[in-house]
A = this chain, B = another copy of it.
Amino acid sequence: MSSLRPTLDFLLYDWLQAERLNGRARFADHSRETFDAVLDTCERIAREKYAPFNRLIDTEEPRFDGEKVILPQATHEAHRAYVASGMVSAAQDYEEGGMQLPYTIEAAAGTFFGTASVSMGSSLLTKGNANLLMVHGTEMQKAVFARNEFGGRFTGTMCLSEPQAGSSLSDIVTRATPDGGDFEADPLGARYRLKGNKMWISAGEHELAENIIHLVLAKIPGPDGKLVPGTRGISLFIVPKKLVDSDGRLTGERNDVALAGLNHKLGWRGTTNTLLNFGEGKFPVRGGAGAIGYLVGKPGEGLRCMFHMMNEARIGIGMAATSLGLAGYYASLAYAKDRPQGRPVGPAGKDPAQPQVRIIEHADIKRMLLAQKSYCEGALALLLYCARLVDEQHTGTPEAADEARLLLEVLTPVAKSWPSEFCLEANSLAIQVHGGYGYTRDFPVEQYWRDNRLNMIHEGTHGIQAADLLGRKVVMEGGKGLALLAGRINATIEKAIQRPDLSEHANALGQALQKVGAATKSAWATGNPSDALANAVPYMQAFGHLVIAWTWLDVLLALPAGSTRSADEGRVRATRYFFHYELPKIPAWLRAVETRDPTCATMPEEAF
C-alpha cells in the first residue's frame, strides 16, 4: 500500500487543490494539516485493523446460528475502530457532532479501507441512510435515527430489491398499511405495518451495533386495496430491527424483521448479504401483523428520496472497485519486483548461465502493470473529481453548484460502471502477473478479483447504468449536462494543445470527444429509444474511456514543468499507455452505436 498515499496527495493537492476548499465558510477551519490528520488516522486504522484480516473474512464467511449472525471478531474490532475515529459523521455539521469534512477528503480517506479490506466495510450504507434522513426526515427522525447512525450506535441499510424485483423497482410488492386509527400521530412519523421480502440487503443482519435501521421501499395500497403499479406508488419507510422510543432508546421490543437467508457469494464475504422477511410473523410485535415502519417524506415519493442515497452509493461503489484495483496493482508490483524468472528477450538473454532477472524487467509484465496503473489511478482521479463536484454542489456559488449537479448527473453512471469493469480487468492482470501463484489462495490477488466481481452488479447493473447514461443523462435538460462535460474536456484540450509534449494527446482526445458526440446524435437519430438503447453498454464503454482519457490528460497539466520525479514520469507513462493502447478502442465500441446496429436487439429467441 506504499504508493497510495503519495498518489492521493498528488491528486488532492497538486491536481484538485483541495486545500483551497477552506476558502468556503463550511470548511473555513480546515487546512491541509487537518486533512492530512484525517488521512493519517484512516491509513493507520486500515493498516492495523483491516488489512491483516482480509483473508480471514473471506474464509470465515458470515453464518447464522439460528439466532444471531456470527462475524469474525476482527470485523467487530474494525467496526469499533472506524466508529471511534469519528469517520461515520465526519462530513456532518459541527452541531451534529461532525467535523464538517469535505466529501473529497472523506472519499480519499475511504480508499485506505477499500484497499485494505473492502468488504469489512466503511459504513457506506449507514452514511447514505443517515444522510438521506437528514434531507428527507422529520426533526424527530433525524434525532432518533440519523444521529444514532452517525454516532455509531445504529447501522443502516437500504432495502430496495425483492426476489421478483431486482433492477425493476416498479414491481416491488412489499405492502405498507396504516397501523391503527392514530397512525399519523406517532412522534417517529406516520406509522405503518409492512409485509414483504427484501433481497440483496447488505449488512441486513449482524451484531455490530445496538440496532439496524432499515430504509425500506414499499407500496401503500389504494382505496381498492390494490398496489399502484409502477414507481409512482412507492413510498419510503424507516423500519428499525428493534423498536425505539422518541429518545432513541431501545424499548426492548423486537420488530418483525427476520433473516430469511444469507446469500453465499463468490466474494465480498466480509459483509452479510441477506434476504429479509418483513412482517411475516416471526417476531409478532405490539399485537398486530406486520413490521412497524415510519413513513419518510410523502407517500409516493419513496423512489425520489432513495435516489438521493443511490447516487452517493454509486460513487462509493466506483471507489470500492477502484480500491480493489489499486490493491491488486500494488500486490502484483511488489511480486514483480521480487520474483526472478526468465531472461531478457534477444541476445542479452541468450546465456542461461546468467542468473534469471526479476519479472518486472520483462516488457509484457510491465505492460500488465502499466495497464493496471493506468486503469486504477485514472479511475481514482475521476472519482476524486466527482467527490470534489459533490463539495462544489454543496458549497459553491449557485451557478457553480448547478454546474456541479449537472456534471454529476452525467458522470455518476461512468464513475460507478467504468471502475467496476476496468479495475476488475486490472485485478485479472494482477493474477496474471503472479503466474500460477496468482490463482492460489496463498496470494491476495484472486480475492480482489472475486470481491470486485460484485461491483458491476450491485447498486445498479452495467445495463442499468448504461440506460441511465444514454437514455437519460446525456439528453436531459436538452443535453446540457453533456455540453457542460464537453466544455470541460475542451478546456483541458485547449491547455494541452499548447504543450508540445501533450499536443498529440490533446488532438486524440479532441477526436474522441467529437466521435462520442456524433455517436450520441446517431444513436438518437430516429428518436426511438429502443434504437438508441440497443447498444447502450458499448456506448458507455466508449464514453467511459473518453472520460478517463480526459482525466489523465488533465492530471498531466498539474505536473510541475520539467519535473524529473519518478512519480511524474509514471503519470506521463500511464497517460501515454491510456492514449496509445486504450483510447483506440473507442471506434470499435461506437461502431454499433452509430449504426444503431440491430444484430442483438432483433435476435430471435429460438436462434440462441
Which residues of A from 548 to 595 have beta carbons under 8 Å from B? 566-567, 569-570, 573, 576-577, 580-581, 584-585, 587-588, 591-592, 595
Q: 1/0 per residue A164-203: CB within 8 Å of B?
A: 1111101100000000000000000000000000011000
Tell me whether B436 and A458 are in contact (CB under 8 A).
yes
Contact indicator A441/B367 (Cβ below 8 Å)? no
| Distance of A567 from chain B, by nearest CB (Å) | 7
Select from chain B the residue with minimum beta-carbon distance to A454: B439
Cα distance A586–B110 when bound, in Å? 38
Q: In the complex the two chains form, what is the Cα distance from A37 to B429 in whole Å?
A: 43
With a CB–CB cut-off of 8 A, which chain B residues contact A446? 266, 453
> Could you say which of B264, B441, B605 contacts A337, with CB atoms under 8 Å apart?
B605
Whether B167 lies near A342 (C-beta < 8 A) is yes
- Give chain B nearest CB distance to A500 CB in angstroms: 18
From residue A543, how far is it (CB to closest CB) to chain B in Å? 15
How would residues 398 to 442 of chain A score, 1 for a CB under 8 Å from any chain B CB and 0 otherwise? 000000000000000000000000000000100110011011111
Name the CB-closest residue of B to A571: B607
| Stretch among A45-53, A387-395, A530-538 lining the B interface | A530-538
A342 touches B441 (CB 8 A): no
Chain B CB within 10 A, most for which of A263, A342, A533, A538: A342
On chain B, the residues within 8 Å of A530 by CB distance are 344-346, 363
A364 near B: Cβ within 8 Å?
yes
* Shortest Cβ gap from A608 to chain B (Å): 5
- Residues on the B chain within 8 Å of A369, using CB: 603, 608
Once the chains bind, are B457 and A432 in contact (CB under 8 Å)? yes
Given the known interface contacts A537-B367, A603-B573, the answer about A457 and B441 at a Cβ–Cβ threshold of 8 Å is no
Inter-chain contact B264/A442, CB cutoff 8 Å: yes
The SS class assigned to the A binding surface is: helix
Say whether B435 contacts A364, CB under 8 Å: no
Asked if A343 and B168 make an inter-chain contact with CB atoms under 8 angstroms apart, the answer reads: yes
Q: Which of B266, B363, B569 contacts A607 (CB 8 A)?
A: B569
Cα separation A97 to B410 with both chains bound (whole Å): 68
**A596 to B: closest C-beta gap in Å:** 11
Q: Is A450 an interface residue (CB 8 A)?
A: yes
A357 to chain B, nearest CB (A): 10
Q: Is A315 an interface residue (CB 8 A)?
A: no
A166 in contact with B341 (CB, 8 Å): yes
Verify if A456 is at the interface (C-beta below 8 Å from B): yes
Q: Which of A206-214, A279-287, A460-468 contacts B (4 or more CB under 8 A)?
A: A460-468
| Minimum distance in angstroms from A607 CB to a CB of chain B | 4
The residues of B that contact A585 with a CB separation of less than 8 Å are 585, 588
What separation, in Å, do the CA atoms of A567 and B170 have in the docked complex? Answer: 36
- Report the Cα distance A164→B356, complex, angstroms: 10
A535: contacting residue among B161, B361, B367, B535, CB under 8 A: B367
Q: A588 CB to closest chain B CB, in angstroms?
A: 4
In the complex, which residues of chain B have a beta carbon less than 8 angstroms from the beta carbon of A337?
A: 605
Flag if B453 contacts A428 (CB, 8 Å).
yes
Nearest B residue to A340 via CB reads B164
- Candidates B229, B435, B529, B580; contact of A461 at CB < 8 Å: B435
Residue from B264, B365, B577, B607 in contact with A599 in the complex, judged by beta carbons closer than 8 Å = B577
User: Bound state CA distance, A456 and B425, in angstroms?
Assistant: 13
User: Given contacts A345-B471, A365-B463, A366-B600, could you give 17 more A-B pairs where the C-beta distance is less than 8 Å?
Assistant: A3-B608, A166-B435, A167-B341, A167-B342, A363-B534, A364-B536, A367-B535, A367-B537, A367-B601, A369-B603, A439-B454, A446-B453, A538-B581, A566-B604, A569-B604, A569-B607, A585-B585
- Ordered by A's residue number, 16 sampled pairs between the chains whose C-beta atoms are within 8 Å are A164-B356, A167-B342, A168-B341, A199-B436, A200-B436, A264-B440, A333-B608, A346-B529, A364-B536, A366-B603, A373-B608, A428-B453, A432-B463, A436-B458, A566-B604, A580-B592
Give the interface of A toward B (CB within 8 A): 3, 161, 164-168, 170-171, 199-200, 229-231, 263-267, 333, 337, 340-346, 351-353, 356, 360-367, 369-370, 373, 428, 431-432, 435-436, 438-442, 446, 449-450, 453-454, 456-458, 461-463, 466-467, 471, 528-530, 533-538, 566-567, 569-570, 573, 576-577, 580-581, 584-585, 587-588, 591-592, 595, 597, 599-601, 603-608
